[in-house]
Structure formats: C-alpha cells, structure tokens
A and B are shown apart, each in its own frame.
Chain A
C-alpha cells in the first residue's frame, strides 16, 4: 500500500551505537578543523531566527567566516520573536523526576512515533546546555523568590520543565541569540546581509556551492559562494494564508533548495493550534495565538442547540455543551493540541459555532472568576486578556473569549540526516525549516529548544565533519556558469511576474490557495477532499501564471513582487502537501485522515506501513514528485497508541 521507495540518499548516518550513546560517539569520532584553518572556510547562514542567529554566532566564534542573510531589516525580527509560551529543557530543577530520557520519550510520543530516535535523543541531551547558554547571555527568565529559575508545565508532559520569560520567551531567546550574533558583526566575523532574500541555491558538481539572493531594497540579484550553506528559514505555515505566522514567513528558501535536489520530508505534517482568535471578517490578514495556558482555567463550550443566537450569558448551563470535558474526562480542557483542535472544528462544523461569523467556540472564565476571584484571574492572564480585548474588542472578564484553531507550526521540512545535512552535500538545514525532531506533532515549548539546539550545539560540530576534507581545495566562485545561469533565471522570473499584467494580486491568489489547503489539507483530511484539492490547485496555479498582476518595478522596494515569488512557491508546496497527505494513508499527530480513526474518532496509526519518513524528490513538477521513504526504527522506545482519555 505504501507508495514510497527506498533511496540511498536517505541515509541518516547516525553512529552505529545505542541511541543514548550516539551523540558522544559522534563527537569523539568526527573530523575536526584546526582553529587556524577555520578562517579559510566561508559558511553562509540563511535566516537569523533562533536557529540561524545561534548558528551564525557560534560558527563565527569558532573562527569561520560567516555570511548571514535575512529578508528582514534586522535579525531581531525573525518570527521566533513571536513565541510566547516557553522552552523545554531536561534540567530537573524541580526534582519531579525529569530526565533526558523522559524528555526524549515525551517528544517521540508527542510526535506520534514519526520522528527519528537518534536526533530526538540528542535534542533532549543538549537541551540542558541551551538554558545555561541563554542565561549566560542575559535572558531574563522568570525566577522564583529565591532567585532560582522558575518552571511551568506544558501540554503533553507530566513534569515541569518549561522555562519562560513572561509571555515573551521567544522574544527574549531571540534577542539573546541576536545580540550574540551582533557582537560578531561588530567584530567583523559575521557579515550581515539584511533585506536580502534567497531566491535560489546553486549546486555545482553535486555540492552546494552557494546561493543567489535578491536585494529587497534595490532589486539587485547577486550570487554568493561558500564552502557550506545552512538554511534556517523557518516554517511554511503561511501556505494556509491565515496562520499565526508573521506575514512574511514563507517557504521560498527551502523550496528553492528542494528544486535543486534537497528532498522535502513530510510536508503534510502541520500543526493546528487550538487557541487562536477566530477570523473576524474577510479582510483578515493573519490570526493571533492566545497562549495555551488559558486552557488551565478556561472552560471550552458551545451551545447544545444548532443556531442558538443568544449571548453566552443568557444560555443556561443545561443548554451548554462542554464538549472537551464530555469527550475526554481525564484531560478535559487540557487535551493535546491536535485533539482539541479537531473537537473545535467538529463543534463549529455542526453549526454550533459562536460569534458573529459562527466560527469559534467559547473559552469561558466565568467559573474561574467565581472560584478564584477576578484578581487572581487578572494576575494570571491579565496581559492575555488585554491583548484579546485589543484585537477582538470584547472584554473576556465579562464575555467568554472566542477561540478557534489556526495553522501554527510545520513539522515537515527539508529532509536532513543526523548531521543536519540535506540530500545536497554541503547544504544544511536547521530549526523549523527541517523536518527532524517533532515527527507528526510538536509538543509545546519544544520548537525553541530545537532551533537553539541545532544552531548552538549541533551544527557547529557536524559542519566541521564535512569541511575538514575540503581544506585548501578551491571552491567555485560566483563567476561560475551555474551561478550566472541561476542569477539570470532569478531575474527573469521576477521580471516575468511583472509582465503578466493580469488582473489579480498575489494576495488574492494566496487567499484562494490558502482556503483550498485549509479546507482539504487542514485539520481533517479525506481522500476525496485531497483529490479535489489536487485538481483545483494546478488549475488555480495556471490562472496565477496567466492572470497575476504586479504593479511597480523590480528596481526598488516592491512588496507585491516579493509576495508574487512567495505565493508561486506556496502553490508548488501546496500541491506537495496534498500529495503527501493523500499518500499517507493513516492518521498520526497533526495529520488526521478521516478514513483512519477508531470508533471514538481518535487517530489510527498504521505502523506496519507508515512508520517512515516520506521524503519527496523534485522532478520538475510538484504533481510528479517522487516519494522516497526513510524507515524509522524504534530501538529505545516502544510504539504505543497515544491516548489522552
């Protein structure tokens, strides 16, 4: 039934020892570059989020020449800045029985047994170093009165291992990494190219030789060569158009690499976060996450009757359906993300949604206020309530919040081996952009951990292993014909967008594209729906190519033109997402296929046929991409059914 084929390129290259020993073994055996020789190597880091900034800073500290690229005006604006909740680490500061193994196990289980054990174990191992490093960097994590670090617990874990800095953990971590990188820029060891977008990667003689960028200020297209390229370009959640991602998040970098031979793994693994503010009108441009912590005290409900238009306060208890408490009595309102998201979708789909557009469910604090008093609730959630009020214009102290799931994170991404190298030698991928650690579902507070682990503690080691043999060997420079060809193609591509002179804007297409993916490849997928999407997408893409309108020129800032390139790539990715979702005939984590559920509506995995990574290979047309598989072996944990009843 499985439609994948094995491929030699999908060799994870994890050391041949027991999982817990792998990382030490690797470090003992890896090739080293002598400190004086490091400056002879140039490394390009694309993206300056947590993964990119930490990698750039660390590589520069080690002595490599680093060129860092970001399409943002400043590295500090990468979307990592928006993470609210926290970062996990197996510090066991609470003495509640946490350990590296437990974090490893929780992550594998949370990912519904679709991640590679070797990588996840290493992630759990280095998690403890991240906290040390960030505290040394001056991250003002929350403290207890004694001055020691405070922790809280997060979904999917039974220990308190989440470190946080108010509701702005991502911001504080990113600023820490950004400042560390800023120091290297000041010292001249990192060269920063801001407002520069990667528009192509260049492969020469089977190795990644560099990249081509477009300057978003001047429109200048330029090549950059290096010994190795690291892609830290974030996730592709914006394929859905509406998501909690920033407006400019995109898949372009990863996609352009994919087109040059990097396999794209598990594109259908996307995470839908249950507590976001629902869409308010059709001009809405993005959705805002409300911290999951709200579910600790808020109760989720919808009216029992379809079409009940009364304001929440006038609906008596008996006519309310607290569906999470009803369906999952032991976890109740704290059921994991994928499960509560689907439950909300079903409630709304049944016609019982609340709010003017009937597209949300209530998250009610009336009981919490009655039980704890308004002051306590205010102290716990005051800033979130204010934020909600600012956006939705309603006071959550008196009327329930309205929430609905939204696209939030993408577990899929470029396939990488144990060393974070993609299937193109010399091209690495780190952070949300790769597929490595979260399997089919990511636990809260572990994306920040992964980004920093990759950038601080993994790449700086593994990259040396690749570079050492290249010492004193010449690398192709930017005059090479491949670079010139890529530049010309990039220029032509952007010029072509301008010349279509159709009638519809890139945003217009993006909205329609997003709607199709959301409807058919969102929280619940079916074979029929996916096939429908796969017939609609290419048609819409054809229209895009014929009817796009981009005004302005290519020689100065042109945000419409930038958007056109990104939407172009989202179209191609969208097709691949649907194909991946179609071919994965099981339900796991964020990928829920309606055909594969048990009697109670829970996801049914098919370990026999699908305990593998699907890594797609570009053939020139996303509809014809080849599905390669990397089988997943579980030697340390036992495959089990995830249950949160």
Chain B
C-alpha cells in the first residue's frame, strides 16, 4: 500500500520580498511516502532546509482539508496542480512517480503581489467583498428564519456558488488575471436568494467596479472553472454580467425617481 517515492526534483520560486528579484531554485527530496500530501512533501523539504541552516520555503496554508482557501500553488503550470476539483493541500504524492520533476510557482497577478517565495497577498478579494459582497442585516432585526421560504433548487444553486473558498486559483489560472469567477460566485450566492434582492443591483455594481480596480477582464476562457477546487461553473459569470447590465438600466430608472 504505502510506498516511498524517491528523488523528487523540485524547482521552486524563491523571492525574498515584494520588490526583490525572484528566481527558481532546485531542490531534491530524496524520499517521500506516497501517502504524504503535497504540502507534507514541502514540509519535509523545509525540515531538510532548516537542518542545513537554510531558510525554508514560505508558502501559505492552514486547514489542509481544502476549505480555508489559504493554500495557493501553481504546480507544473496548473493552479492547485493536476487534480481537478482539488486544492493544493488535498493533492497527494501518489499522483507522482519517483524521479518526478515538479515546478512550483506562486500565483501571479498584479492584484496578488508576492509577499515572499510562494506566498501572495489576496487582500484584493476582501476589498471586493467589502464593496458589496454581503446582505445588510444588522444584528438583532432579523425576522423568523422560516418567514421567507426559499425554493430548494434556488437554495441549492445559491449554495453551489457559495462554496467558493476564496483561494484565488481562478485569477491565477485565468490568462487575463480576471477575478470574474470569484466575484461572480459571490454575486450568484447572494443575488439568487430572496434575502439578497434588496441590494441586488447596487451589490453587483459596487463589486464589479471594485473588481475592475485590481483585475483583468474576462474573455471567457473557462480556465478558471477548470482550476477551481470547488468546480464553480462559469455560469456564475454570465449571471454577474446579466445583473450588471440590468443594474445599469434599473438604477438609472430608480435614480430618476428622486
């Protein structure tokens, strides 16, 4: 069952800080169990580096069960690596063979500046949410939860979009560095629900305009969907485009009333 892989050759991007020049460095992991996760393989490398008195490779990670969205590696040219619907932390070494050569880069986008080595700053995603990715409902005033029924298919569709873990793989994978899948997912989550209707159009306007400050545009490459660990469909992008269009006309009408 459990085997050991030998001689994993790694080419890893090292960069001291946001403004430093980076470069690839080569490392060898002489032996690793095929039960190990990809990140555990990097842990082993880091222990090795520490024992040699060198600085370990910095990479972001936390839950290691594919839900927090912290892990973020470009592995052999694919965001989150070769396995579909799988975040980096859920990738396991049994996907690889002894002697494999693996290239690891950070996410690259202007909106995701590199902090160090493989760690990037995804705060721009938070800015998009702050611009409108919420339903305004101050604590205390909520009506009974069952007051507004939500048809099951609507709740399910909303949940499909809400599964986004905010990892940024969509941006990393998109040839244009667009965040349409992330933004679309949040808009679909909230705009599909009856609770989200009051702010439906202002939400989409504010979020899309905030997104524009940081990210590229969508040419409908579909690469984001393929990289998304939650396999969120690019249908959410279409929904966002539709609501944005409606918003521009609707808001114009409602503004002219006052």
Check whether chain A touches chain B (CB < 8 angstroms): yes
Cα separation A77 to B16 with both chains bound (whole Å):
25
In the complex, A594 has a CB within 8 A of chain B: no
- Of B65, B69, B142, B150, the contact of A76 (CB 8 Å cutoff): B69
Chain B interface, >50% SS class = loop
Q: How many residues of A contact B (CB 8 A)?
A: 83
Could you tell me which residues of chain B, from 27 to 58, have a CB within 8 Å of some CB in chain A? 32-37, 39-41, 43-44, 46-47, 49-51, 53-56, 58
Whether the Cβ atoms of B139 and A460 lie closer than 8 Å is: yes
Decide if B196 is an interface residue (CB 8 Å cutoff): yes
Q: Is B238 engaged at the interface, CB distance under 8 Å to the other chain? A: no
What is the CA–CA distance of A361 and B230 in the complex, to the nearest angstrom?
30
What's the minimum C-beta distance from B236 to chain A, rounded to whole angstroms?
14
Asked if A171 is an interface residue, CB under 8 A from chain B, the answer is: yes
**Which of chain B's residues 179-208 have a Cβ closer than 8 Å to chain A?**
189-190, 193, 195-196
CA distance A552 to B117 in the complex (A): 13
Cross-chain contact B50 with A551 (CB below 8 angstroms): yes
Binds B, one of A172-180, A296-304, A323-331, A367-375: A172-180
Residue tally, chain B, CB below 8 Å to A: 83
Q: Which of A106-114, A284-292, A603-611 contacts B (4 or more CB under 8 A)?
A: A284-292
Is B11 located at the chain interface by the 8 A CB criterion?
A: no
Query: A29 on the interface (CB 8 Å rule)?
Result: no
Q: Say which residue of A144, A285, A505 sits within 8 Å of B51 (CB atoms).
A: A505
Q: Contact: B136 with A183, CB < 8 Å?
A: yes
Complex partner residue of B47 from A284, A390, A508, CB under 8 angstroms: A508
CA distance A71 to B193 in the complex (A): 32
Option from A133, A182, A556 in Cβ contact (under 8 Å) with B142: A133
Residue A247 is within 8 A (CB to CB) of chain B in the complex: yes
Shortest B126–chain A CB gap in Å is 5
Partner of A248, one of B56, B62, B116: B62
* Contact status A281-B33, CB under 8 Å: yes
Q: Please tell me if A560 contacts chain B, counting CB pairs below 8 Å.
A: yes
Pairwise interchain contact B155-A142, C-beta atoms closer than 8 A: yes
B67 partner, pick from A61, A81, A129, A217, beta carbons under 8 A: A81
Q: Does B92 contact A (CB under 8 A)?
A: yes
Given contacts A281-B2, A551-B50, contact A393 B62 (CB under 8 A): no
State whether the Cβ of A138 lies closer than 8 Å to any Cβ in chain B. yes
B142 near A136 with CB under 8 A, answer yes
- CB nearest neighbor in A for B2: A356
Asked if B163 and A284 sit within 8 Å, CB to CB, the answer is no
Contact status A137-B155, CB under 8 Å: no
Write the chain B residue with the least CB distance to A186: B130
Q: What are the residues of chain B within 8 A of A82 when measuring CB–CB?
A: 63, 65, 67-68
| A217 partner residues in chain B, CB cutoff 8 A | 115
Are the C-beta atoms of A393 and B37 separated by less than 8 Å?
no
Chain A positions 553-602 with a Cβ under 8 Å from a chain B Cβ:
556-560
Of chain A, the residue at the smallest CB distance from B55 is A552
- Scoring A142, A248, A390 by chain B CB atoms within 10 A of each residue's CB, the highest score goes to A390
* Beta-carbon contact of A73 and B137 below 8 Å: no
Check B47 against A247 for contact (C-beta < 8 Å): no
Are B130 and A182 in contact, with the CB atoms below 8 A?
A: yes
- Ranked 9 nearest A-B pairs via Cβ: A147-B149, A179-B134, A186-B130, A280-B35, A136-B142, A136-B137, A281-B33, A135-B145, A132-B142
11 A-B contacts, Cβ less than 8 Å apart?
Answer: A74-B125, A136-B135, A144-B152, A147-B150, A149-B146, A283-B33, A356-B2, A457-B139, A505-B47, A551-B50, A556-B17
B binding-site residues for A, Cβ under 8 Å: 1-2, 16-17, 32-37, 39-41, 43-44, 46-47, 49-51, 53-56, 58, 60-70, 83, 86, 90, 92, 94, 115-116, 119, 121-123, 125-126, 129-131, 133-146, 148-152, 155, 158-159, 162-163, 165-166, 189-190, 193, 195-196
